[in-house]
Structure 1
Amino acid sequence: MISIKPLSLVALLATVLLVSCEQFDEFNANPNEPTEVSADVLMTAALRSSVNTMVTESFLLGNNAAQLTAKTLRTEVDAYNWNAFPTVWEGLYESLTDVNAVERIALEQGNEKMQGAAMVVRAWVFSTLTNAYGDIPYFEAIKGGTESNFTPAYDEQAVIYADLLDQLAQADALLAPEAAGSISGDIIYNGSAAQWRKLANSLRLRLLMAANNQLADTGAQFAEVVEAGNIMESNEDNAALVYLDGFPNQFPLIPLKTGDFDAVAISQNAVNLLSSYDDPRLFRYARPDNGIYGPDGTFDGAENGAGAGSCDKIGSRLGPAYFVDGAQTTADQLGIELGKGIIMTYAELEFLLAEAAEKGWIGDDVESHYRAGIAASMGYHQVSLDDTQWDSFDDFYANSGVAYTAAVDIWEQKWVALFFHGLEPYFELRRWYFESGNDWAGLPFVSPPCANVNDDMLPMRFLYPGEEQSLNSDNYSAAVQRLGGSNSQNAAIWLVK
């Protein structure tokens, strides 16, 4: 567990230590050392920290809650016996400390492009937090060090969403070619303001789709962003961290013990769906049980749900991109890259456009975007059609049964494409579940988990961490009252009311 508590305890202790050590600072100050960490160092730290948190939580939470994978041990997520998942709260708020510092320094230095990139990261992190918990500390968050506010108010999700959309619109302008400055310390896009701008606008589309059941003018706002352009155009625009080979800069799952990695397997629902299409992504998401990468490869899927009773927890190991085992075929031997830390991909963007077209928000052809989304996902995962019966992508699309026929197809293929996309698989499954009247029948590619403890209901949110109740009691209580009086996983947040 991460021990840093950015909203409360550490900041308070730091204040006490600052008073007691003030006299020593006079003697220990080194005039040859900088008194403030530079923005580029902070940007690198913020990106690495936030993305690492999301990779880990995708493995432990996002993929499992969305039934792309299944827990074989410690099955609380699968069985819907949820808690606060405090590593999400702590990890993301901790990274925001550095993000805010980057934005402040960039503003002081008149570096508009750096400021814009920091605003994009900040919006992504805060959107993840509010999507997970609902109302959260937002406007007053991370101000313990600058304003001595260690008990920030919880802002309502509707207000947070409005500001996030506004912040991303401002970032779009700050990242324009004519804006001043440059982006340093950038381990996502290597300083490309044009690609950060595309991410800013693509995230705007993600947020608009997420809030479409609450915003009266979602379609018009969505169409305006699309019409203006500057959104992702190919897999070259993917916002994904490419990891290095050595610790501590490698893909976060690589250092895991074998038993911890094997506590998650490919899900029964994923295997059933991908096998029905003979989809080559199955050979990237999981390892064939018989070790054969080809048409004769075999897979098992673990059932989502409780770890006891009749639930089948035998499932194929996750793919070689996510863990290195010299006793099995490796990613290097397959000629593919190890896993990346995903913020957002072009495949997701194409499915957003497909759904927007299906809803009538934009005049584009639905199937063109749908097909492009599948192709982009396959390209990202570096699939080999030699593992299947298909001669080409055209052959796969035309003859596998995956071709677009109805709106639910968009949800299904986006579900497949969101593998290891942080918590986004769960957030989207929740939206689709809500838009289907909280009825699993509207989502034929998933099912109520085996022996779950929540009466077959998909949880609507993560619980607030217990420390918030003791360290930020008044604001915590106000937020819980807005949930109906209980810090419950089934309390409906604004997005799904």
Structure 2
Amino acid sequence: MKNLKYIIFSLAVCLASCEDIADLQKDPGAITRPSADLIFAGILLTSYDSPWSLDQRHNQFMTQNEAYYEGQPYGWTTGTYENIYTALRNVNQMEIEAEKMGDLGAQYKTMAKFFKAYFYSRATEMFGDIPMTEAMKGVSDQNFKPKYDSQKDIYIQVLKWLDEANAELPALIEKRVTIPNDFIYNGDLSKWQKLVNSYRLRTLISLSKRADDTPELNVKQQFATILSDPAKYPLILTNADNFQVIYNTFNTYPLWPSNGVVVKNDKRNTLAATYVNIAKSTKDPRLMVVALPAEALAKNTDVFARYGGGKTGDLQSTLLDQSSAGLLSMINFDFWETSAAGVPAIQLGAPEVNFVIAEAINRGWVPGNAADFYQKGIEESMKFYNIGAAAVTSFIAANPYPASAAQGLNKILEQKYMSFFENSGKQAFYDNRRTGVPAFDIGQSNANNNQIPVRWAYPTSEYTTNEVNLKAAIQAQFSGADTQNDTMWLIR
């Protein structure tokens, strides 16, 4: 009896205080069931591209002249899905959590449609065909080898998601629904609606080569529908609505030094000739804001002749010699590094949207005056750099919209390129890939057989985890080849 009492007492103590070792190994601070708003914030953190990156050197805005660092060789072969599909899994989880919230989760379900469109389009414009319809079925259906969807089908779905998101947002806006943890638009869904439609225009113009041969996309009709009803389809037409990242003392600007001491001299990173030469030939006042005169050229009477850009195709040793001799322009540190907040990083802005509309009018997709939107695109870009109104007027007068349609298109694309300086990720590269404007420099540094690549080969991990579906996709698109020089359907 005494032993039985001891056993019962020991059990009681154990039940009260003993824990399973698996429970003890759990991190008590870990978030295992994040709410939709926390997931949304995480998605935002993966949704933007930083300035001053290798992408921007491949856009031919800057050159890296020191051989210790990677230059601008265009030597990439394969790419990675990792960040994009991680973001898409988060979008999928946000939808799941939003569904549990009932009506209170409606805004997250709508935003999920935008972000699915956003991330799938980012993946397909890099690689070509990608997994989409089966991509998120690994956990739910135990399908870890998703089929690849054609690029055409992906864009049909992307445009559908964007249209649906726009249709759902007005009711949420009317109810004054907001989104906590939104560090882009501070929860203002009316600004998100402008982004949704502006992103749809970006997507449609990226399909310009398919506008006449793919009726399922209705590229021209969709574009015209959006422009014909600005109340239903509001757009980002002024900088106040830009989709941009504002840096601060916690999320510090990429150029800001860790010790807070700005050294206003960096001859390793100088402006590229592709950008500088356009600015000099058009006498663009933005050049004097973004860059410093080259030391050896600073005494020229023509202020624009004081600036020099390095050819992207030159060897890094050549560029370093030129920079050391004071022939190349560095960035204007007083503009770009005034504080840890630096300068906002635009992801999709008003200049781009105005130029996209101007291009669509020029191509005959929609009625209107392309010159008006061309001019508005220039004005919004120059406002971003705080260029005075008189200087803007003088620049537009000296660089009017040409009467010739072909010359007009070239001018639109050239000015759109100039507005992309150190923002909007790979968009300048994608526009060049689609249109050839501006002409990109190719030289001795090119590591791709004197070619600018047009895509990324599929991730090597796909060959071990999803080989059958991957090879079927490669065969369907490129007759079995998978290189950075194979032309995808989007730009064929």
Q: TM-score range by the shorter chain?
A: 0.7 to 0.9
Residues in 2 aligned to 1:245 and 1:262: alpha-carbon distance in whole angstroms: 26
Q: In the alignment, what sits opposite 1:396? A: 395
The one-letter code matched in structure 2 to 1:304 is T
Q: Does 1:97 align with 2:89?
A: yes
CA contact (8 A) 1:273 1:445 kept: no
Offset, 1:195:
1.0
Alignment of 1:123-142 (within 5 A): 123-142=117-136
Q: In the alignment, what sits opposite 1:15? A: none
Q: In the alignment, what sits opposite 1:422? A: 425
Structure 1 gaps, min length 5: 1-21, 321-328, 386-390, 434-442
Q: In the alignment, what sits opposite 1:324? A: none
Q: In the alignment, what sits opposite 1:492? A: 487
Root mean square deviation, CA, Å: 3.4
Deviates more, 1:353-362 or 1:25-34: 25-34
Cα deviation code 1:395-452 (max 9, x no counterpart) = 22113x354442210111111112221111111111103xxxxxxxxx4654434553
2:57 to 59, 64, 78: 64
Cα deviation code 1:49-103 (max 9, x no counterpart) = 231xx216x7212x222322234356877333222243xx322222223222223
Q: In the alignment, what sits opposite 1:156? A: 150
User: Secondary structure at the residue paired with 1:175?
Assistant: helix
Q: Does 1:299 align with 2:307?
A: yes
User: Secondary structure at the residue paired with 2:270?
Assistant: strand
Structure 2 gaps, min length 5: 1-18
CA contact (8 A) 1:114 1:182 kept: no
Offset, 1:219:
1.2
Q: In the alignment, what sits opposite 2:223? A: 222
Alignment of 1:13-412 (within 5 A): 24=21, 35-51=32-48, 54-55=49-50, 59-61=53-55, 63-73=56-66, 78-86=72-80, 89-109=81-101, 110=103, 111-178=105-172, 181-214=177-210, 215-216=214-215, 217-229=218-230, 230-246=234-250, 249-254=251-256, 264-290=269-295, 296=303, 298-305=306-313, 307=315, 314=323, 315-320=328-333, 329=334, 331=336, 338-383=342-387, 391-399=390-398, 401=399, 403-405=401-403, 406-412=408-414
Deviates more, 1:189-198 or 1:67-76: 67-76
State TM-score, norm by structure 1. 0.79
CA contact (8 A) 2:347 2:424 kept: yes
Residues in 2 aligned to 1:255 and 1:148: alpha-carbon distance in whole angstroms: 46
Residues in 1 aligned to 2:335 and 2:28: alpha-carbon distance in whole angstroms: 51
How high is the sequence identity, in percent, across the aligned residues? 28
Cα deviation code 1:312-361 (max 9, x no counterpart) = 874433443xxxxxxxx35465x996232332101100001001111111
Residues in 1 aligned to 2:336 and 2:26: alpha-carbon distance in whole angstroms: 49
CA contact (8 A) 2:195 2:235 kept: yes
CA contact (8 A) 2:255 2:337 kept: no
Query: Compared with structure 1, are the counterparts of its residues 170 and 289 closer, same or farther at alpha carbon in structure 2 (3 Å cutoff)?
Result: same
Query: Compared with structure 1, are the counterparts of its residues 357 and 309 closer, same or farther at alpha carbon in structure 2 (3 Å cutoff)?
Result: same
State TM-score, norm by structure 2. 0.80
Q: In the alignment, what sits opposite 1:325? A: none
Alignment of 1:395-474 (within 5 A): 395-399=394-398, 401=399, 403-405=401-403, 406-419=408-421, 420-433=423-436, 443=437, 445-450=439-444, 452-474=446-468
The one-letter code matched in structure 2 to 1:431 is R
Deviates more, 1:305-314 or 1:461-470: 305-314
CA contact (8 A) 2:244 2:346 kept: yes
Residues in 2 aligned to 1:462 and 1:491: alpha-carbon distance in whole angstroms: 9
